[in-house]
């Protein structure tokens, strides 16, 4: 990681901000910091200067595992042919309510 | 992988044409990556260097309100620089490399920040004109094809609106104050008008790279289109404040509905870009000083993090 003397920018952290209580945290961007405490303080200064958040999560970027573009087609296509998972797949007889 | 480059490029172009954003981990042509790194890092440097002319007036702001506002604005610019460095980093360059390029004089930043802020009215002119021009440009860039850059632009544009209004408030206040104050506002407009027009980049006829950057939607409108929009928005604002635009050839074209300006003096623009502006040297010195004087803080933070980590390991 970036801890050599000539590169003293710290680790890269991803920042997730919850805008209001009760809703999910959403990715806001990233910050550089040497530890979690510093990452939280920077994230507050960089991403919530206008009360955009009530809670912040930070995680070192290298800890995140993500799908890749090359795999994404085969990874997600099992869901493609399962329209019956949606309520609109079904016909509701006329006059029947609350379905 | 037998898919050849031509095929990859075709799919990439198809994606862009259908309005999809390109994300960090996806395949992209080398030149797309290179152009974006160049653009985003220059943009980030501009935000950081842009703090200097305004920072010059924080200690001398005319009231506590003005001072608090200016502090918040300069802090925003730092934030913008950080969003943009992060966006550039998603393309595989690290922040230290970009900072080094700036400090070594290898990277460009917006020519406009090489002009001095001589009076308080200049702070108004920067918010009104420089940030006004930046908003028009950045609203265009927000529609660009690279996801992380586009999202940073959306965020930045929201914050720039405050900068733009606070600048106009300063100018409008001065323009409607004493004759001396009005003169200050006019003088600031006289000095910042043309550099603001120029900061939107070389004219379309002169602009390199534009065919490719437009095809890849790195930019979605040309420099001249963006410049015209800025002019059309700003001229009436100057008139509303009772100020006059320093251009004897300025006229309103009834037919097209656009304000037409006189010829732009490009020689000066290229001189400033090449490093011969009034403040190029001073700006670089200030960045160098900040880098050197902040070094112990970064070292201390790294040492502290290392110590905490080893303590945790012992405890575990």
Q: What is the pLDDT of residues A33-92, one digit of tens each?
A: 999 999 999 999 999 999 899 999 999 999 999 888 778 888 888 888 899 999 999 999
Report CB contact under 8 Å: A49, B304: no
Separation of alpha carbons B293 and B291, rounded Å: 6
Separation of alpha carbons B112 and B77, rounded Å: 15
Work out the pLDDT band at A1, boundaries 50, 70, 90.
very low
Separation of alpha carbons B211 and B207, rounded Å: 9
Work out the pLDDT band at A5, boundaries 50, 70, 90.
very low
Q: Indicate whether A7 pLDDT > 70.
A: no
Token code pair at residue B72: 């918040």
Report CB contact under 8 Å: A31, B86: yes
Which of B 155-184 lie inside 8 A of A, CB atoms?
Answer: 155, 159
Report CB contact under 8 Å: B82, A46: yes
Query: Which of A3, A4, A34 best tests the B interface by mutation, with the highest count of B CBs <10 A?
Result: A34
- Whether the CB-CB separation of B31 and B89 falls below 8 Å is answered with no
List, as own/partner pairs, every contact residues B274-278 make where C-beta atoms lie below 8 angstroms and the sequence separation is at least 24, other chains included: B275/B105, B277/B111, B277/B114, B277/B115, B278/B114, B278/B115, B278/B116
Question: Which of B286, B267, B300 shows the shortest CA–CA distance to B103?
Answer: B286
Q: Which residue of B has its CA nearest to A8?
A: B298
pTM for the whole structure: 0.91
Report CB contact under 8 Å: A2, B96: yes
Alpha helices in chain B (DSSP H): 5-17, 30-49, 51-55, 64-89, 95-103, 120-125, 131-141, 147-175, 179-198, 210-215, 223-240, 266-271, 280-315
Cα dihedral angle (B263, B264, B268, B270), rounded to 10 degrees? -120
Which of B 65-104 lie inside 8 A of A, CB atoms?
Answer: 72, 75-76, 79, 82-83, 86, 89, 94-96
Separation of alpha carbons B243 and B187, rounded Å: 10
Q: Which residue of A has its CA nearest to B308?
A: A35
Separation of alpha carbons B159 and B197, rounded Å: 21
Q: Which residue of A has its CA nearest to B298?
A: A8
- Whether the CB-CB separation of B95 and B35 falls below 8 Å is answered with no
Contact with chain B for residue A3, Cβ under 8 A: yes
State how far residue B197 is from chain A, nearest Cα, in angstroms. 30
- Report how many Cβ contacts below 8 Å link chain A to chain B: 61
What domains, with CATH codes, occur in chain A? 11-67 (3.10.20.520)
Contact with chain A for residue B311, Cβ under 8 A: no
State how far residue A23 is from chain B, nearest Cα, in angstroms. 20
- Whether the CB-CB separation of B144 and B218 falls below 8 Å is answered with yes
Interface ipTM > 0.90: no
Q: Residue A92 has what DSSP assignment? A: P
Residues listed for chain B? 316
Q: Residue B146 has what DSSP assignment? A: B
Which residue of B25, B151, B299 is in closest CB contact with A8? Answer: B299
- Whether the CB-CB separation of B252 and B195 falls below 8 Å is answered with no
Token code pair at residue A78: 């099992």
Which residue of A2, A30, A49 is in closest CB contact with B75? Answer: A49
Contact with chain A for residue B27, Cβ under 8 A: yes
**Tens-level pLDDT at each residue, chain B (316 residues):** 556 899 999 999 999 999 999 998 889 999 999 999 999 999 999 999 999 999 999 999 999 999 999 999 999 999 999 999 999 999 999 999 999 999 999 999 999 999 999 999 999 999 999 999 999 999 999 999 999 999 999 999 999 999 999 999 999 999 999 999 999 999 999 999 999 999 999 998 887 767 889 999 999 999 999 999 999 999 999 999 999 999 999 999 999 999 999 999 999 999 998 889 999 999 999 999 999 999 999 999 999 988 988 988 888 7
């Amino acid at each position: 990681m970036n801890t050599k003397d000539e590169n003293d920018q710290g680790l890269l952290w991803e920042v997730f901000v919850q805008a209001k209580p009760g809703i999910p945290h959403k990715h806001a961007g990233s910050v550089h910091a040497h530890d979690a405490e510093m990452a939280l303080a920077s994230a507050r200064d960089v991403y919530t200067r206008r009360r955009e958040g009530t809670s912040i999560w930070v995680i070192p970027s290298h800890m995140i595992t993500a799908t890749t573009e090359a795999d994404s087609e085969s990874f997600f296509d099992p869901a493609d042919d399962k329209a019956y998972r949606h309520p609109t797949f079904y016909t509701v007889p006329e006059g029947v309510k609350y379905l | 992988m037998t898919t050849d480059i031509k095929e990859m490029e075709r799919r990439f172009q198809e994606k862009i044409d259908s309005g999809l954003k390109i994300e960090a981990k996806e395949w992209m042509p080398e030149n797309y990556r290179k152009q974006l790194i160049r653009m985003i890092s220059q943009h980030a440097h501009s935000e950081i260097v842009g703090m200097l002319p305004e920072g010059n007036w924080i200690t001398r702001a005319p009231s506590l309100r003005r001072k608090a506002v200016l502090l918040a604005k300069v802090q925003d610019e730092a934030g913008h620089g950080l969003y943009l460095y992060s966006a550039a980093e998603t393309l595989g360059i690290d922040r230290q490399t970009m900072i080094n390029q700036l400090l070594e004089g290898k990277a460009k930043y917006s020519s406009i920040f090489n002009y001095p802020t001589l009076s308080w009215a200049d702070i108004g002119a920067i918010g009104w004109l420089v940030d006004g021009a930046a908003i028009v440009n950045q609203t265009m860039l927000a529609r660009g094809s690279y996801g992380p850059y586009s999202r940073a632009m959306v965020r930045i544009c929201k914050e720039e609106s405050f900068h733009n209004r606070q600048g106009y408030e300063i100018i409008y206040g001065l323009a409607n104050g004493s004759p001396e104050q009005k003169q200050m506002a006019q003088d600031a407009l006289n000095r910042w008008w043309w550099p603001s027009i120029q900061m939107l980049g070389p004219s379309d006829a002169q602009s390199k790279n534009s065919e490719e950057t437009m095809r890849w939607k790195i930019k979605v409108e040309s420099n001249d289109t963006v410049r015209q929009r800025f002019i059309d928005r700003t001229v009436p604002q100057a008139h509303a404040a009772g100020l006059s635009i320093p251009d004897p050839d300025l006229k309103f074209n009834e037919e097209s509905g656009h304000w037409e300006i006189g010829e732009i003096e490009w020689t000066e623009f290229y001189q400033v870009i090449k490093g011969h502006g009034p403040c190029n040297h001073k700006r670089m010195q200030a960045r160098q000083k900040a880098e050197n004087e902040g070094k112990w803080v970064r070292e201390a933070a790294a040492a502290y993090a290392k110590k905490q980590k080893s303590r945790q390991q012992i405890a575990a």
